[in-house]
Amino acid sequence: MGSVAHTYTERLRARGHDVHVYTPRYRAVQYDPDYIHRVPSPIHVGNAGVVPSLFNRLKGFDIIHLHYPFFGGAEPVIVRKAVRPDQALVLTYHMDPIARGLKGALFEAHRRALFPWIVSRTDRILVSSREYANTSALGHIASAAERIEIHPFGVDLERFHPGTDPALRASLGISEGVPVLLFVGGLDSAHHFKGLSVLLEALERLPGEWHCVVVGEGSLRASFLSQTMLKPYSGRVHFVGAVTEEDLPRYYRAATIHCFPSTERAEAFGLVALEAAASGIPTIASDLPGVRGVVLNGETGMLVPPGDALALRKALEFLLVDEELRSRLALSARKRTEAEFAWDPLVSRLEETYKTLHRR
């Protein structure tokens, strides 16, 4: 969500639009540009922050674009819309919020009590794919259908491109020619559905010579490390932590196969799969709504059942052996990103949605 909001902001500002971003003040940040506003929240839990002052802070804007889920922020935005219906409201529905235990019960209560009210006040609802919209909580609100527009997310085709990176491989002690499996994702409890534990289980009996690189940081990193420590493959799994935006494309270029083993439908699209495709490597992903619109089974990658370590292992083994298939999938993946996921035409589509609402 943050990545998409950032890309929209920077590309729209480059086109001359006056775009401002309001987000809870998670932490103190130096050197923010003057169009980024970190709003104090009296109640703050994880990524959720109650920010009632948004009601007044959003005065004067022609269009408000709400990225959802945003618990504690969506509510004052919708109250403002009820008071000022002439102020256009666009909502990007990123995913169904999913959790276990008490948090899951709170999500469900919110979905039943407040979500229909939020949707009813929105002028346009943007989703990354029709399939995800139909199978998500939106699909249960009949009145939403007429306001839904499909707006896939994109990828920077200049930043992510095919190539190699022998220096990065060497820094990790990986010889040239040895296949590299790549995982990119958060290693915290909020991203528990990314499925790294499934991948680590799949690696346990994966034959042949290979290395696995894990890019990401978070509170669960220690438990993942302990999961690998006593395994025979421990020396071939590299936890590199968080990497800079500048270095991230290098990891894709150094990789052979991208692994995207998410376990739940909270994974609604998959920007990392687009980054891999643009970098010219195939992805093995979980067969989930939304994800299977990014990774086409047998065309740009392979799909396996979510949470199935055995199926993931078999798919990895299959691609590791068949170099010709890997090359064909990689070429197809790059061509598809060029044809369907370049950012410029996608931002133009978003711009046209804004202009239509503004004219009204």
Give domain status of residue 161, yes or no. Answer: no
Give tens-digit pLDDT for 13-57: 999 999 999 999 887 788 899 999 999 888 777 667 789 999 999
Q: Assess whether 191 and 328 both reside in one domain.
A: yes
pLDDT value at residue 46: 67
Percentage of residues in the chain having pLDDT higher than 90: 80
Indicate whether 301 and 349 sit together in one domain: no
Please tell me the pTM assigned to this model: 0.91
State whether 184 and 301 are in the same domain. yes
- Shared-domain flag, residues 180 and 73: no
For residues 328 and 240, state if they share a domain: yes
Looking at the structure, tell me whether residues 251 and 323 fall in a common domain: yes
Q: Is 134 helix (H, G, I), strand (E, B) or coil?
A: helix
Residue 160, domain member (yes or no): no
Q: Is residue 246 part of a domain?
A: yes
Judge whether 12 lies within some domain.
Answer: yes
Taking CA 99 as the corner, what is the angle to CA 93 and CA 105, rounded to the nearest 5 degrees?
A: 100
45/133 same-domain check: yes
- Cβ atoms of 193 and 217 within 8 Å: the answer is no
Distances in Å between the alpha carbon of 115 and those of 46, 108, 110, 112, 118? 20, 10, 6, 6, 5
Query: Are residues 208 and 329 both part of a single domain?
Result: yes
Say what the pLDDT of residue 234 is. Answer: 87
Can you give the CATH number for the domain in which 250 is found? 3.40.50.2000
Domain-embedded: residue 235: yes
253-302 pLDDT, tens digit each: 999 999 999 998 888 899 999 999 999 999 999 999 999 999 999 999 99
Residue 205 resides in a domain: yes
| Domain co-membership, 177 together with 213 | yes
Give the range of the structural domain holding residue 142, as residue numbers without chain letter.
2-154+342-359
Do 324 and 346 fall into the same domain? Answer: no
Cα separation, 148 vs 134, in Å, equals 10
Percent of the chain with pLDDT over 70: 99
Residue 82 burial by Cβ neighbours in a 10 Å radius (0-12, 13-18, 19+): exposed
37 & 144 share domain? yes
In a domain, 125, yes or no: yes
Residue numbers in the chain where pLDDT is lower than 70: 46-47
Domain count for the chain: 2
The dihedrals phi and psi of 286, each to the nearest 5 degrees, come to -75, 145
Does some domain include residue 159? Answer: no
Contact 88, 123 (CB under 8 A): yes
Is 107 in the same domain as 230?
Answer: no
**pLDDT for position 26:** 80
Return d(Cα 61, Cα 186) in angstroms, integer: 33
Residue 84: the pLDDT is 93
DSSP-assigned letter for residue 178: S
H-run or E-run covering 36: strand 36-39
